[in-house]
Structure 1
Amino acid sequence: MARGGHGLARVAVVVRAGAAPLWWLGLLAAGVGAALPGLTGRRIGLYAGAALFLVTAAAVALTGRKRYTTLAKATSKAGRNDLLQDRAVSARQWRRGHRWWLLLAFLAAVGSSWAMPAAGGMALAGAGVGLWLKAAWLGRREQADQLLLWVRVDWLRRGGAPAGKAVRGYRVTGVAAGDASPGGARRRRTAVPA
């Protein structure tokens, strides 16, 4: 990295990185849990799981929006020496750093099925959907402002979250920077007519 520059990761990519693992682990845990009768029975477990799915998705999607908005106002333009991290690298680093938490969450969701079948897994899947919704909300902000939000990688290593206490502000670039579209999804390549 050039002197004076920082490694930057897309905020929306880091938020979105946990969505797919939580979704798939949640579905797997719910499937395993649905095979068990549990203390409450399958029907009550599935109804409770559906309610937990909706509540968890809404809570994860809405939690921290004020902090993200505050940090988005405290932006500075990314410098010439700043290094923009690829989408795949940012997602891989988040997942590698949280793999034990994901495993513990999966085991807790499966273990809770002895009491209430499938409910824990559906709550886990709801957390994944909530992260997708939060990333989509960030994407709409980015499109409205025509700016992409980036966070310093060293701040992520200290705090772990793109809106954690270690983060003091975001860097911004134009919407063409990086390999992820607003919201953190893969950038679609458009064919250039010959």
Structure 2
Amino acid sequence: MSRGGQGLARVAVVVRAGAAPLWWAGVFAAGVGVLPSGITGRRIGVMAGAALFLVAAAWVALRGRRRYTALGGGTARAGKHDLLQDRAVTVRTWRRGHRWWLLLAFAAALGSSFAVPAAGGMLLAGCGTGLWLKAGWLGRRERAGDALLWVRVDWLGRYGGRPAGKAVRAYRSTGIAAGDAAPGGARRTASVG
């Protein structure tokens, strides 16, 4: 990057990157986890899993909102030499950096099914749902402020870390049409007309 430019990744895309793998791993683990009756029995396992799903979704969706709001409150505009990272690159970096954690979480969810059927998988799916809800909340903030939020790639760390972690000191902003991801981090759809 020339002339002092920085690589920038979309905050909502980083948040959303883990949602699909956690959701699908959780759904698969819960589906397979219903097969053994476990120690508690299927009915209790599914009821416990439903409670864990709701708690995990709420906790992940609400966790850190004050930090995101504080970082998003005083954003500086991205400079003309800043490099806006593609959505696909951000997602791929995050997923590659966290693949062993995702695999370990999936294995733990499957293993827990022999004690409490489906509960571990539903917990994972709840975490994925919470990330989607958090990304949606960020998208509504971006639309309301008419600005997309970006974070420096070097502050995310080697594994595409947390966009509101301790290393992150401030966000940058661009206009709502910048980059290839819509507000909230989803793929931008081609507008007709």
RMSD in angstroms over aligned alpha carbons? 1.0
Offset of 1:74 from its aligned partner?
2.8
Provide the rounded CA distance (Å) in 2 between the counterparts of 1:45 and 1:3.
57
Provide the rounded CA distance (Å) in 2 between the counterparts of 1:59 and 1:121.
16
How big is each residue's C-alpha offset from its partner over 1:8-63, in whole Å with a ceiling of 9 and x where there is no partner? 00000000000000000000110111011100000000000011100100000000
How big is each residue's C-alpha offset from its partner over 1:59-92, in whole Å with a ceiling of 9 and x where there is no partner? 0000000010111113111011000000111001
Provide the rounded CA distance (Å) in 2 between the counterparts of 1:183 and 1:89.
16
Q: TM-score, normalised by structure 1?
A: 0.97
Offset of 1:3 from its aligned partner?
2.5
Provide the rounded CA distance (Å) in 2 between the counterparts of 1:104 and 1:3.
42
Name the residue aligned to 1:172: 173
Provide the rounded CA distance (Å) in 2 between the counterparts of 1:176 and 1:74.
20
Name the residue aligned to 1:43: 43
Name the residue aligned to 1:160: 161
Letter in 1 for 2:172: R
Kindly tell me the number of residue pairs found equivalent between the two proteins.
192
Provide the rounded CA distance (Å) in 2 between the counterparts of 1:2 and 1:35.
57
Offset of 1:191 from its aligned partner?
2.5
Name the residue aligned to 1:112: 112
Q: Gapped runs of 5+ residues in structure 1?
A: none
Name the residue aligned to 1:16: 16
Name the residue aligned to 2:186: 185
**Secondary structure at the residue paired with 2:157?**
helix
**Secondary structure at the residue paired with 1:172?**
strand
Matched, 1:149 2:158: no
**Secondary structure at the residue paired with 1:98?**
helix
Provide the rounded CA distance (Å) in 2 between the counterparts of 1:73 and 1:155.
18
Q: TM-score, normalised by structure 2?
A: 0.97
Letter in 2 for 1:29: A
Provide the rounded CA distance (Å) in 1 between the counterparts of 2:153 and 2:17.
14
User: Equivalences for 1:118-133 in 2 at 5 Å?
Assistant: 118-133=118-133
**Secondary structure at the residue paired with 2:8?**
strand
Provide the rounded CA distance (Å) in 1 between the counterparts of 2:188 and 2:33.
36
Provide the rounded CA distance (Å) in 2 between the counterparts of 1:74 and 1:163.
14
Provide the rounded CA distance (Å) in 1 between the counterparts of 2:74 and 2:121.
37
Name the residue aligned to 1:33: 33
Provide the rounded CA distance (Å) in 2 between the counterparts of 1:65 and 1:11.
13
**Secondary structure at the residue paired with 1:107?**
helix
Provide the rounded CA distance (Å) in 1 between the counterparts of 2:161 and 2:131.
15
